Amino acid sequence: QPSIVWFRDDLRLADNPALRAAIDRGEPVIGLYVLDEQSDGIRPLGGAAKWWLDGSLRSLSARLTERGSTLVLRRGRAASVVEEVVKDAGADAVFWSRRYGGAEREVDAALKSALRGSGVTVASFGASLLFEPWTVQTGAGTPYSVFTPFWRACQSMPAPRAPLPEPREIPGPQSEPTSDDLDDWALLPTDPDWAGGLRETWEPGEPAARARLREFLAEDLAEYDRSRDEPSAGATSGLSPRLRWGELSPHTVWHETIESGHPAGRFLSELGWREFASHVLYHHPDLATKNLRPEFDAFPWPRLRPAQLRAWQQGRTGVPLVDAGMRELWRTGVMHNRIRMVTASFLVKNLLIDWRRGEEWFWDTLVDADGASNPFNWQWVAGSGADAAPYFRVFNPELQAKKFDPHSEYIRQWAPEYGPDAADLAPPPIVDLAQSRKDALAAYERMRRTS
Ligand code: FAD
């Protein structure tokens, strides 16, 4: 009887323990992906994420087919869809990689017991994180809320397991359960087609992910420490969507980085921040909607400011570094980490707009939009999160530009009207940086007095 591998955030063949377990049973293997926009609490994907998913599923499907197996696509409430496919295929085993969001864990736990109740073998595997969140604990047995001791604790644990090799052959079923046609899911934009910049920038799928990892290790890692903060240097890995969709496992990145022989503590600790964000999400499932520090519930956000929010989204704030960042995001589906911090700080502190509005925009426009890292980092910038930047740290976009983009290369690339030749085309800033900073600090003081 066939085994089903339910793919979710692990769209790869290499180092995929669920796929390996299915192959090792020696029975036919059926891959399954369920587009679930119905289960309670599951957050629908944003537009850029759907674009990525479409490409990554096409690649995965082709790779499974090449090796003898298949990818079945279905849409609907995951729990009932998986049970249906099990019946249609006459399968007696289902394997998957774990997820860490609250709603996802509930779906998976309920399905696991329902399937087991009907005699189906079910096993789940740790494949998306180096350290399972519940295994990293303080001496008192509590979760960590500060990064440095968290990462120290991780490093004193057994090293992440070595990655599993990519299977060459995957036995397929004699008859396949019916599958949706990916075109009918309409994950890609049509009218207007805003995805031109994404197509120019990215090639979703496992082969391109592996190629970028190799290139990064050979060409960029040695410069990473020195240049990682310069947005125009192209010195970071660009692996965030690969890790988000699981085209690469963190184990593969970890081990290949160490084997490259370059000093890599700083780069590996960035993977540590990714682990920490999931650790925090696991222990605080409402990370995307609720302040981790409850005193922020009393923050006096002024009334909604739709015009300012729109100007920020469109990169028309009149502040060069902010506008460059927001346009990079719209065009490429990513933004350099330092500029994410600057644009987020500008929204929350200079425009005094609730961090959740910014988180939602990033969720919709990032190809690496992640249920843990996105809200975690927004709360970090807003000061309401775990181990967060103190609220009174307001990034000054002008000083940040001087320091990290001294020759304005980044600004000129994304917002050329701020260059010396075209300065008269640039709009004036929609807010006074010094005054708005004072207003933000005053609002923070009001919050501290009322909470
Ligand atoms: P590299 O510098 O090469 O880092 C390697 C990997 O480490 C990244 O691919 C990523 O997986 C991980 N990483 C690095 N920094 C962080 C971090 N601060 N938090 C968590 N993981 C990190 N990252 C996402 O993957 N998804 C998001 O939705 C996301 N939203 C963010 C929102 C805000 C407001 C901010 C300030 C940061 C956000 N980040 C997010 C973190 C970070 O900006 C990106 O991971 C990074 O810019 C990706 O580029 P890279 O792959 O070249 O990073």
pLDDT digits (tens, 9 = 90+) for 26-85: 999 999 999 999 999 999 999 999 999 999 999 999 999 999 999 999 999 999 999 999
Summarised one tens digit per residue, pLDDT across range 267-292 is 999 999 999 999 999 999 999 999 99
The per-residue pLDDT for 113 is: 98
Closest to 444 measured CA to CA, from 394, 397, 409: 394
**CA 15 → CA 10, 98, 196, distances in Å?**
9, 14, 32
Closest to 229 measured CA to CA, from 48, 380, 28, 403: 403
DSSP, residue by residue, 382-397: HT-STTPPPTT----H
Mean pLDDT of 244-254: 98
**Sheet of 29-35, strand order:** 71-75, 29-35, 3-7, 93-97, 121-125
**pLDDT of 424 above 90:** no
H helix intervals, 39-125 = 47-66, 78-89, 102-117
Q: Comparing 85-89, 119-123, 425-429, which segment has the lowest mean pLDDT?
A: 425-429
The per-residue pLDDT for 15 is: 98
Closest to 242 measured CA to CA, from 200, 203, 201: 203
**pLDDT of 303 above 80:** no
Instruction: In whole angstroms, give the CA distance from residue 205 to residue 60.
Output: 7
- Give percent of the chain above pLDDT 70: 99
Instruction: In whole angstroms, give the CA distance from residue 152 to residue 162.
Output: 20
Closest to 2 measured CA to CA, from 25, 33, 18, 34: 25
Instruction: In whole angstroms, give the CA distance from residue 25 to residue 4.
Output: 11
The per-residue pLDDT for 423 is: 58
Closest to 432 measured CA to CA, from 398, 383, 406: 398
Question: Which atom of ligand 1 lies nearest, measured to the CA of 250?
Answer: 11
- 374 CA to middle of ligand 1, Å? 8
**pLDDT of 422 above 70:** no
Closest residue by Cα to atom 17, ligand 1, is 273
Ligand 1 contact via 277 beta carbon (within 6 Å): yes
Ligand 1 contact via 337 beta carbon (within 6 Å): yes
Summarised one tens digit per residue, pLDDT across range 339-374 is 999 999 999 999 999 999 999 999 999 999 999 999
H helix intervals, 202-345 = 206-215, 224-227, 240-244, 250-259, 265-283, 306-314, 320-332, 337-345
Mean pLDDT of 378-391: 91
Instruction: In whole angstroms, give the CA distance from residue 205 to residue 211.
Output: 10
The per-residue pLDDT for 388 is: 84
ipTM of the predicted assembly exceeds 0.85: yes
Assign 125 to helix, strand or coil.
strand
Q: Please tell me which residue, 6 or 423, carries the higher pLDDT value.
A: 6
Question: Which atom of ligand 1 lies nearest, measured to the CA of 228?
Answer: 2
Domains and CATH numbers, the chain: 1-127 (3.40.50.620), 129-162+205-283 (1.25.40.80), 294-450 (1.10.579.10)
Instruction: In whole angstroms, give the CA distance from residue 262 to residue 437.
Output: 41
Amino acid symbol at 127: A
**pLDDT of 132 above 90:** yes
Q: Which two tokens stand for residue 436?
A: 């708005």
Ligand 1 contact via 340 beta carbon (within 6 Å): yes
Residue positions annotated with a catalytic role = 270, 273, 301, 337, 355, 378
Q: Is residue 314 a contact partner of residue 320, using CB atoms and an 8 Å limit?
A: no
Mean pLDDT of 315-329: 97
**pLDDT of 451 above 80:** no
Ligand 1 contact via 256 beta carbon (within 6 Å): no
The per-residue pLDDT for 427 is: 83
Pocket test for ligand 1, best of 262, 326, 368, 404 (most atoms within 8 A of CB): 368
The per-residue pLDDT for 315 is: 98
Mean pLDDT of 379-401: 92
Q: Please tell me which residue, 292 or 421, carries the higher pLDDT value.
A: 292
Q: Is residue 317 a contact partner of residue 297, using CB atoms and an 8 Å limit?
A: no
Instruction: In whole angstroms, give the CA distance from residue 153 to residue 138.
Output: 8
**pLDDT of 332 above 90:** yes
Pocket test for ligand 1, best of 201, 202, 262, 337 (most atoms within 8 A of CB): 337
Instruction: In whole angstroms, give the CA distance from residue 155 to residue 137.
Output: 12
Q: Is residue 43 a contact partner of residue 104, using CB atoms and an 8 Å limit?
A: no
* Residue 173 DSSP label: P
Q: Over the chain, what is the mean pLDDT?
A: 96
Summarised one tens digit per residue, pLDDT across range 105-123 is 999 999 999 999 999 999 9
The per-residue pLDDT for 420 is: 64
Ligand 1 contact via 343 beta carbon (within 6 Å): no
Closest residue by Cα to atom 33, ligand 1, is 377
Question: Three-class SS string for 331-367?
Answer: HHCCCCHHHHHHHHHHHHHHCCCCHHHHHHHHHHHCC
Ligand 1 contact via 328 beta carbon (within 6 Å): no
Q: Which two tokens stand for residue 323?
A: 């506008």
Ligand 1 contact via 269 beta carbon (within 6 Å): no
Pocket test for ligand 1, best of 257, 377, 393 (most atoms within 8 A of CB): 377
Ligand 1 contact via 278 beta carbon (within 6 Å): no
